Amino acid sequence: MIALKTKIYDLNGNMRGEIELPRAFNTPYRPDIIKRAVLSLQSLRRQPYGTDPLAGKRTSAHYHGLRHYRWRMMGVEMSRMARLHGKIGHLMWRARFVPHAVKGRKAQPPKAEKKWEQKINKKEMLLAFKSALGACCNLEFVTKSGHRFQGDLPVIVEDIFEKIKKTDDVLKVLKTLGFEKELERGKDKKIRAGKGKERNRKYKKKKSLLVVVSQDCNVLKALKNLAGVDVCFVNDLNVELLAPGCNAGRLILFTKSALEMLGKMK
């Protein structure tokens, strides 16, 4: 096991020391496990849907095969399917209920009781989390994900960063730390192809910087308006944030306290 160390920066971009990264950052890259974990998390948000179980079945239409009977359906040159009959006028012998009839049921409708959840073992989820963390330290994976950054990974900043209240001040600090090109990249958005334009998701936006803090603080609100930037508590960090779209190599900024808490948790 190799001890990984990284630099700690202040708000002016000056180095203020070094800190040893948790052992989780040394985990080998496992794209197969990461994909399973991300799909499992996404499946928990899937909304079950289905049709009414009685849709198309609320009818008196039926079929019976007696030959010598007043309302017989055999030997009268009609296909054998559920039909309306009785004192119903122009609807006499109209087919109902069957899937290929007018107002009939659907052959294979979606069912609300279907289970969309994809289960995954706890140890596999933990391995995926550690593997995604390790990929975030590799500049090759980070660059391959589309991020524009050059320097040591992950970036660690002093805890005073959490006390910043204004977005302009946060922007100055991030640009000082070398995230200027990445923030410009996060502003890019493209119009989605297909029906999504009509369903309140017209634009496709990029995932940019992920900021991890140790507690509820002012910088959460200051980062809210930056396009593509995500911010979360260290306790809420998961595989999907580290590898959006199953692609490991997210560009991350940790505060010093958040990194220390991560070392105790995992």
* Domain limits, the chain: 5-46+116-265
DSSP bridge partners of 83: 62, 95
Tell me what pLDDT residue 236 has: 94
Give the model's confidence band at 3: pLDDT under 50 very low, under 70 low, under 90 confident, else very high: low
Strand ranges of the sheet holding 210-213, from the earlier edge strand across to the other edge: 15-20, 5-9, 155-157, 252-255, 210-213, 230-233
35 — phi, psi (to 5°)? -65, -45
CATH code for 5-46+116-265? 3.40.1370.10
Name the packing angle between helices 31-43 and 122-135 (round to 10°): 120
DSSP bridge partners of 38: none
Distances (CA, A) of 2 to 22, 105, 156, 181: 11, 63, 19, 31
* Average pLDDT rounded to a whole number, residues 216-239: 94
Supply the pTM of this predicted model: 0.86
Tell me what pLDDT residue 231 has: 96
Q: Are 163 and 184 in contact (CB under 8 A)?
A: no
Using CA atoms, how far apart are residues 153 and 253, in angstroms rounded to an integer?
A: 9
Q: Are 219 and 213 in contact (CB under 8 A)?
A: yes
* pLDDT tens, residue by residue, 115-165: 999 999 999 999 999 999 999 999 999 999 999 999 889 999 999 999 999
Tell me what pLDDT residue 73 has: 84
Q: Helices H, strands E: what count in the chain?
A: 8, 8
pLDDT surpassing 80 at residue 210: yes
* pLDDT tens, residue by residue, 30-84: 999 999 999 999 999 999 999 999 999 999 999 988 888 777 888 888 899 999 9
Give the model's confidence band at 193: pLDDT under 50 very low, under 70 low, under 90 confident, else very high: very high
Taking the CB of residue 95, how many other CB atoms lie within 10 A of it?
A: 18
Positive/negative CA dihedral, 207, 212, 216, 219: negative
* pLDDT tens, residue by residue, 240-256: 999 999 999 999 999 99
- pLDDT more than 70, % of the chain: 98
